[in-house]
Amino acid sequence: MLQLSQCKLSWQEDSFSKLQKKAAKLLGISVEDFTQFTIVKRSLDARKKPNLFVLYTVRFLCRRESEVLKRNRKNKNLTIAKKEPSLWRQIEEIKNPERVAVVGAGPAGLFSAYYLSLCGYSPIVIERGAKMEERHDDILKFWQEGVLKPDSNVAFGEGGAGTFSDGKLNTGVKDKTGRKQFVLQSFVNFGAPEEILYDAKPHIGTDVLQTVITNMRLAMEEKGCQFLFHTKMTKILEENGRVCGVLTQNGEKEETILCERVILAIGHSARDTFELLKKEHITMSQKPFAMGVRVQHRQEDIDRAQYGFNDEKLPASPYKLTGKTTDGRGVYSFCMCPGGYVVNASSEEGGLVVNGMSNADRASGFANSAIVVSVSEEDFEGDDCLAGVALQRKYEKLAYELADGKIPVQRYEDFCNNQPTKALGKVVPCVEGKWRFSNIRLALPNFIINGIIDGMGQFAEKIHEFDHPDTLLLGLESRTSSPVRIERDEDFESVSLAGLYPCGEGAGYAGGIMSAAMDGLRIAMKIQEKKKEESNHA
């Protein structure tokens, strides 16, 4: 199999047949010579805007392969394709699998349970929130009427925070074992589009994700995995310094689930569970995170700045921005949602948090991203391991009170002038949830206010009019990552309790759908490895 990179098409002529023709031309062969042809990477190159190109890397088999290689030996873009690592090939059914409980049905919990079920285990997934359909209705009701269900919302329920997310699937996590490919291929198997396998910036969209996650659960149930919804883990049971089970609560009903190992994939919003872990002396430490606001622009303005022109056939443009504040902190864009919505993502009564999402078509006409400033342990009040949670809560409460539970909205010019907005300019709120004009500065510490203003100025040098007076700020964005880390050892077990596996974003080992899912896989693989070692010694 050969690989050809830097196969470039102008964006207007982008099609599979044109790509094959282009590759054949570059190689000096005819399209008919290809016996197999697969795209492995695709990206839109706007560096020479307004001349946009689509860059491809392809893998192929062709007639007279060695002759083609020889003839093109000076072409650095043509190589023999390296064999990719595959996790699928490593899956091995285990004899006498043990009982594993997985707490949390977000990407981390789901993928750990999925892998274990493929290896012959029958994991039990404990999820405090509701199943997809019910959760969907709860969230709509919250956005339309403001009635929050503390256990079924944008953060909690089937699929975790990942389900009602934007569904961007990029990650910077280095991976030698094939976990990344495993996650993407699984999503495709459960209904996501094939393009996510090769797009440089893969995206599913919250509408498609809901179907994908439901299909995944159904397949897992067929494999023997058991799901308990509306069921909260309320205690970790231990015997002789080792996990022996968990206590759960479903309404009034308490149940003991005995098991040999517990994967703790609770996400970064399970504050009551963090409290519980602290009480049970599970070692946790403070962790830096970032906080700020969502900013919203018209997508056409972002597209023009990024592409040099507007054309409805082009995808809604993303951006990624980083800068430094005058006091030396990082300020950056986070979770950018082209063609998306700003959503009320609150999960606690009396606190307000926003986030961003989009559907697969990214067609809302607006672009949003969080502009956040780094928050370090020195900003926390005190040494308590949950001091970061306390800081988040303090500002979420202020944001809630500012607009009576609705999303506070402010024009950027008014934010700079420290006055509430009274009328909109060219950007109108594109939100899921109710909103109200406010002065968001009243819900932010000074270092964040100054950091946002520093950042907006720097970002306007990269994206024309990023700091336009009418740009909207919507707050508060405080749940960028976990403010706490649940410490684990080299075998990924809690340093204070054997058999307990802190996992995913809430435990501080991931930041996004892909990295959370990959962390879940890493733990499942470790459990499988240990079990195999034990069987070999028996």
Ligand X SMILES: Cc1cc2nc3c(=O)[nH]c(=O)nc-3n(C[C@H](O)[C@H](O)[C@H](O)COP(=O)(O)OP(=O)(O)OC[C@H]3O[C@@H](n4cnc5c(N)ncnc54)[C@H](O)[C@@H]3O)c2cc1C
Tell me which H or E stretch contains 155.
none
Token pair of 197 as six digits = 């396998």
Token pair of 380 as six digits = 């926390």
Contact call for residue 202 and ligand X (CB under 6 A):
no
Contact code string over 8-47 relative to ligand X, x by CB under 6 A = ----------------------------------------
In this complex, which beta carbon is closest to ligand X, that of residue 23 or of residue 510?
A: 510
Contact call for residue 214 and ligand X (CB under 6 A):
no
Contact call for residue 405 and ligand X (CB under 6 A):
no
Of 44, 62, 100, 126, which one interacts with ligand X (CB under 6 A)?
Answer: 126
Contact call for residue 267 and ligand X (CB under 6 A):
yes
In this complex, which beta carbon is closest to ligand X, that of residue 155 or of residue 440?
A: 155
- Residues 323-342 interacting with ligand X (rule: CB under 6 A): 335
> Cis bond leading into 85, ω under 30°?
no
3 state SS of 201:
coil
Amino acid, single-letter form, for residue 434 = K
Write down the least CB distance from residue 352 to ligand X, Å. Answer: 13
Distance CA 371, CA 478 (A): 11
Contact call for residue 139 and ligand X (CB under 6 A):
no
Contact call for residue 167 and ligand X (CB under 6 A):
yes
3 state SS of 425:
coil
Contact call for residue 138 and ligand X (CB under 6 A):
no
* Longest pairwise C-alpha distance within the chain: 74
Write down the least CB distance from residue 10 to ligand X, Å. Answer: 29
Token pair of 164 as six digits = 């009602």
Token pair of 306 as six digits = 């990024």
Contact call for residue 504 and ligand X (CB under 6 A):
yes
Contact call for residue 512 and ligand X (CB under 6 A):
yes
In this complex, which beta carbon is closest to ligand X, that of residue 335 or of residue 407?
A: 335
Contact call for residue 510 and ligand X (CB under 6 A):
yes
Tell me which H or E stretch contains 454.
helix 446-462
Contact call for residue 161 and ligand X (CB under 6 A):
yes
In this complex, which beta carbon is closest to ligand X, that of residue 231 or of residue 421?
A: 231
For the stretch 303-306, contacts whose Cβ atoms lie closer than 8 Å and that sit 24 or more positions apart, written own/partner, are 304/464, 305/463, 305/464, 305/465, 305/466, 306/46, 306/49, 306/463
Contact call for residue 497 and ligand X (CB under 6 A):
no
Contact call for residue 483 and ligand X (CB under 6 A):
no
User: Of the candidates 99, 103, 229, which has an alpha carbon nearest to the alpha carbon of residue 501?
Assistant: 103
- Residues 338-377 interacting with ligand X (rule: CB under 6 A): 343, 345, 355-357
Query: Is the separation of the CB atoms in 450 and 441 below 8 Å?
Result: no
Contact call for residue 402 and ligand X (CB under 6 A):
no
Of 157, 323, 451, 483, which one interacts with ligand X (CB under 6 A)?
Answer: 157
Distance CA 132, CA 160 (A): 10
Distance CA 501, CA 76 (A): 45
Contact call for residue 232 and ligand X (CB under 6 A):
yes
User: Of the candidates 197, 208, 250, 253, which has an alpha carbon nearest to the alpha carbon of residue 228?
Assistant: 250
Of 97, 160, 420, 508, which one interacts with ligand X (CB under 6 A)?
Answer: 160
Contact call for residue 127 and ligand X (CB under 6 A):
yes
Site size toward ligand X (CB under 6 A) is 44
Of 52, 233, 389, 402, which one interacts with ligand X (CB under 6 A)?
Answer: 233
Contact call for residue 259 and ligand X (CB under 6 A):
no
Other beta carbons within 10 angstroms of residue 535's beta carbon come to 11
In whole angstroms, how large is the CA radius of gyration of the chain?
Answer: 24
In this complex, which beta carbon is closest to ligand X, that of residue 392 or of residue 421?
A: 392
Distance CA 533, CA 261 (A): 16
Distance CA 338, CA 429 (A): 14
Residues in contact with ligand X by the rule CB under 6 A: 103-109, 126-129, 154-157, 160-162, 164-168, 232-233, 265-267, 270, 273, 335, 343, 345, 355-357, 504-506, 510, 512-514, 516
